[in-house]
Structure 1
Amino acid sequence: MGTGKHLHMPNNAHDIAVVGAGIIGVSCALRLARQGLRVVVIDQQQPGHGASFGNAGHLATEQVFPIADVSILKRLPAMLMDPMGPLRLDWKYLPRALPWFTRLLLNLRSEPFGKTVAGLRALNESSLAAWQRLLADISRPDLLKVDGSLLVFEKPESRQAIAALQTRLHQQQVPVDFWQAAAVHETAPQLSERIQGGLFFPRTGHFIDPYRVVTELVEAAKASGVSFVKQQVQGGYVQEHGVSLITGSGGFKARRVLIACGAHSAKLIAALTGKKVPLDTERGYHLMLPHEHNRLPFPVTSLERKFIMTPMSEGLRLAGTVEFAGLQKPPSMERAWQLHRLSQGLFRKDLSADNATPWMGFRPSLPDSLPVIDQVCDGKVLLAFGHQHLGLTQAAVTAEMIVQMASPRSQPDDLPDHKPYTLDRF
């Protein structure tokens, strides 16, 4: 099969084969097809059934700092000992994770940390406008609510940490306002009186149904000529006139390939480019509460409890826990149910967990907290992976950047420079 003799697609049947049908792959596929390119999307799951299905739904433009900072060293014992902690490292996975964590810690030094913040900020500053363009193009702007979001605190001693964070955000020119307790309770009256105040982020938003966003983009992509194939890509190789992908049913040939399969990208990247990328996964959990509508006007995050609550069309989604345990270990759904326990005391009346559904997905993470958005192998291999917990936020702007590389016509002038996101930084 490696010779390509059994490939059932004629040579150059597609301009671009997109591997990965999550929010990033689908957004890229639609944008590429709208440029007149022949596009096929290949994934072993139905579109949107990976990490894109269960994300927090928060358009997190305010998150310009990586989830890890120097305090992670102090927290490491707790990460190993507390199975229900907000940031969890599995004991058995520690030997495999150690090289990745070592690189993560090295990236917390002043200079690389500054590059990470600048890279995240550049993508996030462009994300909201890019999403508004993309949803307008498919006539579904209603799927995104740009009502802001709120980070609340309960303990009086947390006020100093909130003030320090506000200062850091102002230094990065992130729009943020401090809200006293009265403003919080006026806007979100169901929240507990324990809330002392918080930071409001006016230029953030949330998606009322993240999975619906993917399916609407898929329908628009199909209408633009994109074909979707449910197969597992097992490998591939770059040839003189294009790329061959090997699947269980034969394979595909295309002039170019876009790798956008999230936490599963490393093996294919190695096969096509010879490059070993330090890709790991943040296993994220959510708990969907179907009986909790109209509790919150917009996403609310707890500073002390370290999770987020997002109102959606199907109820209230609790999310935010991170676990490092690799791709193979079965989910620990107790971590999802822990989110409901964390919510207790945040509302005047506790949330109902009746008929709640838990979920776990893989967030693709690189040790410098930046994605790879690049083209290599003389432009035959395009890359869009490693967005960690900001895949939904950065999907639309990533798609515009990929199109700029693949078909540099009529793209927005204010797209981020792709240099911070190149593959050769590893």
Structure 2
Amino acid sequence: MGSHDQATQSTARQAEITVIGAGVIGIASALSLSRQGWRVRVIDKHVPGMGASFGNAGHMATEQVFPIADASILMRLPRMLLDPMGPLRLDWRHFPKALPWFTRLLWNLRQTPYQASVSGIRALNEASLGAWRRLLDSVDGTHLLKEDGSFLVYERENSFAAIQALQARMAAQGVAVESWQGNAIRDVAPQLAETIRGGLFFPATGHVVNPFSVVDALTNAAKAEGVEFHQDEVLSGEVHSRGVTLKTARSRPIHADKVLVACGAHSAPLTADLTGIKVPLDTERGYHLMLPREQERLPVAVTSLERRFIMTPMTEGLRLAGTVEFAGLHRPPNMQRAWQLHRLSQGLFKTPLDASEATPWMGFRPSLPDSLPVIDSAQDGKVLLAFGHHHLGLTQAAVTAELIATLATQGQKASSSALALPELTPYRLDRFSS
């Protein structure tokens, strides 16, 4: 056996936890695990932060406590299938494969499971910003988060009733929400058009100045604390008495005492390998359009009620995001959907947005039909799971990392955490075992 093989085998034996997935949830979890005393390795076929975490809207969406769909989705289904540029799109070629997922989604719209989903989302969201403050403070990254609130604005007179109803629903769930008139909104964001009649302000929300910079700061901190990073693809896994063995595309099999599955929309096959449970995971294909010449246009994130998209100010420009497409993992992106976001912005500002040098993007948001993630341990603690956060992956990443670190230590190492974390029952894997 050569020295390289010996070194590789030695390294493989030293790592106690292997994290599969280098998005914001995987990296935040790797850092939290390392700080609990575990030796950690991260594996992803991409550079850290270059998947869905790269292109998210950047909005810390703590106000979004409701599931990704309600009963109105039935009325919208024909348009979803027929309108390729609609804000919610279902590719007809993906429809047969997606039908079981949508059936489960509709089943979860019954009152009892719907309210359970709301409670589960709210619990994570309420703990999210505090967890992010702790995490970013620990990596000298507090400047990456702006907690200045966000707006949901409306333009049509007949939208006022919908805004009032939404405000009442959110307030009933404990969401901090205020009703603002159009002139008050323009005092904060003076470039918005006079057609903005009013909207809701969410004071307990914020945005990051660059999602990739957040992941990069966490990655650098993790490397400084000894976390290893490997660019490789995990093909399959097997649990046995000594831990878990992973088969990869580029290297020999890797052994770990524990693994964390945190590879977003790609998590279902490996979860089935390791636990025997088939998770009904689909993907919301999200698009954004980055406008580098619009860095000063808005001070906070602004969402349009009627146009159904969000605009977030970042250091590199203004990011337009929010369109959702169900078309699976393998169809090529339709970047016209990203450019459609610029067309949707027309009329929202006193002067049009400058789209010169704009760049489009598409990524995969992992979505489960009850709108709750899987955050759990299985196989006597050998398999940890953190995926399925749909469009709240950035928002819930830091608190998920704290929950994973707690799960990893239970029964093996004393946890020093005294944090008031959400109870894990709503996020258990076994809700999909029947």
TM-score, with normalisation over the residues of structure 1?
A: 0.98
For residue 12 of structure 1, report the CA deviation from its aligned partner.
Answer: 3.5
* Aligned residues of 1:12 and 1:242 also touching (Cα < 8 A): no
SS in 1 for 2:199: strand
Hey, what's the Cα distance between the residues in 2 that align with 1:418 and 1:364? Answer: 19
Hey, what's the Cα distance between the residues in 2 that align with 1:48 and 1:9? Answer: 27
Provide the residue aligned with 2:281 in structure 1. Answer: 279
Show structure 2 runs of 5+ residues with no match. none
For residue 74 of structure 1, report the CA deviation from its aligned partner.
Answer: 0.4
Q: List aligned pairs for 1:233-248, cutoff 5 A.
A: 233-248=234-249
Hey, what's the Cα distance between the residues in 1 that align with 2:21 and 2:196? Answer: 41
Provide the residue aligned with 1:211 in structure 2. Answer: 212
SS in 1 for 2:192: coil
Q: Which residue of the other structure, out of 351, 354, 370, is the alignment partner of 1:368? A: 370
Q: List aligned pairs for 1:184-263, cutoff 5 A.
A: 184-248=185-249, 249-263=251-265
2:124 aligned partner, one-letter code = L
Provide the residue aligned with 1:416 in structure 2. Answer: 422
2:80 aligned partner, one-letter code = M
SS in 2 for 1:108: coil
Cα deviations across residues 173-225 of structure 1 (Å, max 9, x unaligned)?
Answer: 10000001111111111000000000000000100000000011000000111
* Aligned residues of 1:7 and 1:252 also touching (Cα < 8 A): no
2:354 aligned partner, one-letter code = S
* Aligned residues of 1:18 and 1:258 also touching (Cα < 8 A): yes
For residue 8 of structure 1, report the CA deviation from its aligned partner.
Answer: 5.0
CA separation of 1:122 and 1:23: change in aligned 2, threshold 3 A: same
Provide the residue aligned with 2:408 in structure 1. Answer: 406
Q: List aligned pairs for 1:10-409, cutoff 5 A.
A: 10=10, 12-248=13-249, 249-408=251-410, 409=415
2:427 aligned partner, one-letter code = Y
Cα deviations across residues 376-426 of structure 1 (Å, max 9, x unaligned)?
Answer: 000000000000000000000000000111125122431000110000001
Cα deviations across residues 64-120 of structure 1 (Å, max 9, x unaligned)?
Answer: 001200000000010001000000000111000000000000001100000000000
Supply the RMSD in Å over aligned alpha carbons.
1.3
* Aligned residues of 1:9 and 1:251 also touching (Cα < 8 A): no
1:269 aligned partner, one-letter code = T
Over the matched positions of the two proteins, sequence identity in percent amounts to 64
Hey, what's the Cα distance between the residues in 2 that align with 1:377 and 1:33? Answer: 21
Hey, what's the Cα distance between the residues in 2 that align with 1:68 and 1:396? Answer: 25
* Aligned residues of 1:7 and 1:250 also touching (Cα < 8 A): no
Provide the residue aligned with 2:9 in structure 1. Answer: 9
Q: Greater CA deviation, 190-199 or 266-275?
A: 266-275
Q: Greater CA deviation, 179-188 or 150-159?
A: 179-188
SS in 2 for 1:294: coil
1:410 aligned partner, one-letter code = S
Hey, what's the Cα distance between the residues in 2 that align with 1:332 and 1:307? Answer: 17
Show structure 1 runs of 5+ residues with no match. none
For residue 152 of structure 1, report the CA deviation from its aligned partner.
Answer: 0.1
For residue 7 of structure 1, report the CA deviation from its aligned partner.
Answer: 12
1:418 aligned partner, one-letter code = L
Hey, what's the Cα distance between the residues in 1 that align with 2:7 and 2:306? Answer: 54
In the comparison of the two structures, how many residue pairs are matched? 422
SS in 1 for 2:161: helix
For residue 6 of structure 1, report the CA deviation from its aligned partner.
Answer: 12
TM-score, with normalisation over the residues of structure 2?
A: 0.96
2:154 aligned partner, one-letter code = F
* Aligned residues of 1:6 and 1:250 also touching (Cα < 8 A): no
